[in-house]
């Protein structure tokens, strides 16, 4: 497993800034329009309430229209249409709230029209200015992504030409990979062609892999996907849309090139930031609340058995990085990672106190420290031992995709009954299925639901030993 090349992705982080500018800008415009129209800088309470509510609606509505996703290389006119629909939806919900609250007549129609119109223009104009700034930086070589193109045939060459023409999109094709041995180590369109056995080394220096093979090469595409299944590199497939029959699939467009994203990043920069805020807030509250309990458990472990209080095990974290996960020691023997053996029912290594700690999940309380450190999340796929990952990644399809988010103390699989020992391949497959569902459908509300279900039924489990 490898990580994609480290780079400060300016455009992704600007989406966090965009969210703040949306909320603050809409509120400020509402205040300024009122002050200008009424010649009064003291905003009435019901106007303030409406502006605060509109800010909350922005955070709820706008993500559903893709306004906080990366628009690198995409059609900006389509984004303006999305802004129109998103802002219109937020205003409609605001009016519905005012209707049921029976205070619509208290607001000036002139103010509402001027505010809603100026806000729409503001949302479009400042994003356009950001685009201009990003394009200027990309022309200077900042915030660019390196692309490897699999396929040096006509489709691949056309892709390269479009990338080169649309330089402001911020993509640089740096390598071709092709099955034709006759063109190995030669140059096509000015860039080097590598053999298939060099694919993994090429991807060490690239951010994304774009597969540009004919539709008849379906078997070869599957082989490439299998070869790269353990990587966190973004993989995209560029189809021939004129002959490709799409069945309930969504095509994205980057640099005017239609493509299907096969293996992308599940969380945007704003989503990562929101989840980190959630983790810090929740873990801080919980650690303050359970600190006396943790001291008591630490004392009991020290009094009842020899050995360290904490058990530190290496596990795979976000993007496959190795992290150390903390647990209260529950066994009389502390094994190293290469010899890890999963605990089983009536395991002789488990101490009497340790059995209670494991069954009640109290042994996992120190992992809230891991959350504060940024190694883990409160909610996410449970981290498995490194040796388990090496074993199961060859047996369970898409197993390593669990590592596209931070591991969690609790997760969707755990609250659905897949907690503790996974002594059969079927159990692990089901756990991975639930983990991937969580990754694909992540939201703040899903996290809160999982936390609630964990508190409700997750502390004791028949499979925890």
- So where are the chain's domains? 10-139, 145-263, 269-457
Nearest to 317 by CA among 326, 309, 305, 308: 326
Residue 225 makes CB contacts below 8 A (sequence gap 6+) with 235, 262, 263
pLDDT band of residue 6 (cuts 50, 70, 90) is very low
**Token pair 């009536």 is at which residue?**
346
* Whole-number pLDDT of residue 5: 56
* Whole-number pLDDT of residue 348: 67
**3-state SS, residue 366:** coil
Nearest to 236 by CA among 255, 262, 217, 204: 262
* Whole-number pLDDT of residue 246: 44
* Whole-number pLDDT of residue 351: 85
For residue 315, give the H/E element and its range: strand 310-316
Phi, psi of 145 (to 5 degrees): -115, 135
* Whole-number pLDDT of residue 332: 74
Average pLDDT over residues 361-385: 91
CB atoms inside a 10 Å sphere around CB 277: 11
Distance CA 390, CA 399 (A): 10
Q: What mean pLDDT value characterizes the chain?
A: 83
Beta bridge partners of 253: 258
Distance CA 233, CA 377 (A): 22
Q: Take residue 77 and report the two structure tokens written for it.
A: 């006119």
Greatest mean pLDDT among 42-46, 91-95, 130-134, 136-140 lies in 91-95
DSSP letter string, 97-139: HHHHHT-GGGS-HHHHHHHHHHHHHHHHHHHHHHHHHHHHHHH
* Whole-number pLDDT of residue 335: 53
The answer to whether residue 129 scores a pLDDT higher than 70 is: yes
CATH class given for the domain over 145-263: alpha beta
* Whole-number pLDDT of residue 247: 39
pTM of the model: 0.52
Q: Take residue 138 and report the two structure tokens written for it.
A: 């990309």
- pLDDT tens for residues 48-76? 999 999 999 999 899 888 888 777 767 77
Give the whole-number percent of the chain exceeding pLDDT 90: 31
Give how far Cα 407 sits from Cα of 223, 247, 270, 411, 460, Å: 28, 33, 19, 9, 20
- pLDDT tens for residues 272-292? 878 888 999 999 999 999 999
């Amino acid at each position: 497993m490898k990580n994609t090349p480290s780079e400060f992705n300016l455009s992704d982080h600007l989406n966090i800034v965009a969210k703040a500018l949306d909320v603050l800008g809409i509120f400020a415009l509402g205040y300024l329009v009122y002050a200008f129209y009424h010649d009064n800088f003291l905003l009435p309470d019901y106007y303030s309430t409406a502006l605060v509510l509109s800010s909350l609606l922005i955070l709820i509505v706008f993500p559903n229209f893709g306004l906080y996703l990366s628009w690198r290389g995409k059609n900006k006119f389509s984004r303006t249409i999305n802004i129109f629909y998103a802002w219109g939806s937020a205003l409609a919900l605001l009016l519905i709230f005012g209707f049921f609250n029976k205070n619509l007549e208290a607001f000036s129609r002139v103010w509402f029209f001027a505010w809603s119109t100026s806000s729409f223009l503001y949302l479009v104009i400042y994003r356009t200015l950001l685009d201009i700034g990003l394009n200027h930086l990309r022309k200077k070589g900042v915030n660019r992504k390196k692309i490897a193109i699999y396929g040096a045939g006509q489709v691949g060459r056309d892709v390269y030409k479009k990338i080169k023409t649309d330089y402001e999109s911020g993509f640089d094709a740096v390598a071709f990979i092709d099955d034709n041995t006759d063109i190995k180590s030669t140059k096509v369109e000015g860039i080097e062609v590598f053999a298939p056995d060099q694919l993994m080394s090429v991807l060490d220096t690239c951010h994304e892999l774009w597969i540009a093979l004919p539709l008849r090469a379906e078997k070869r595409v599957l082989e490439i996907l299998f070869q790269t299944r353990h990587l966190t590199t973004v993989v995209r497939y560029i189809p021939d849309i004129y002959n490709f029959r799409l069945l309930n699939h969504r095509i994205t467009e980057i640099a005017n090139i239609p493509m299907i994203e096969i293996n992308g990043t599940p969380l945007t920069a704003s989503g990562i930031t929101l989840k980190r805020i959630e983790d810090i807030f929740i873990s801080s509250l919980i650690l303050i609340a359970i600190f006396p309990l943790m001291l008591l458990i630490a004392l009991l472990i020290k009094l009842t058995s020899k050995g360290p209080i904490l058990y530190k095990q290496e596990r795979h974290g976000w993007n496959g990085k190795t992290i150390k996960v903390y647990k209260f020691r529950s066994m009389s023997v502390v094994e190293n990672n290469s010899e890890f053996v999963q605990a089983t029912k009536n395991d002789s290594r488990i101490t009497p106190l340790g059995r209670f700690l494991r069954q009640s999940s109290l042994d996992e309380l120190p992992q809230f420290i891991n959350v504060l450190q940024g190694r883990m999340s409160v909610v996410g796929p449970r981290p498995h031992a490194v040796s388990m990952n090496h074993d199961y990644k060859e047996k369970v399809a898409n197993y390593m995709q669990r590592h596209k988010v931070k591991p969690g103390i609790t997760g969707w699989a755990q609250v659905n009954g897949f907690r503790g020992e996974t002594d059969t391949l079927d159990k692990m497959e089901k756990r991975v299925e639930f983990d991937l569902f969580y990754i694909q459908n992540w939201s703040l509300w899903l996290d809160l639901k999982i936390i609630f279900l964990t508190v409700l039924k997750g502390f004791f489990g028949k499979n925890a030993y």
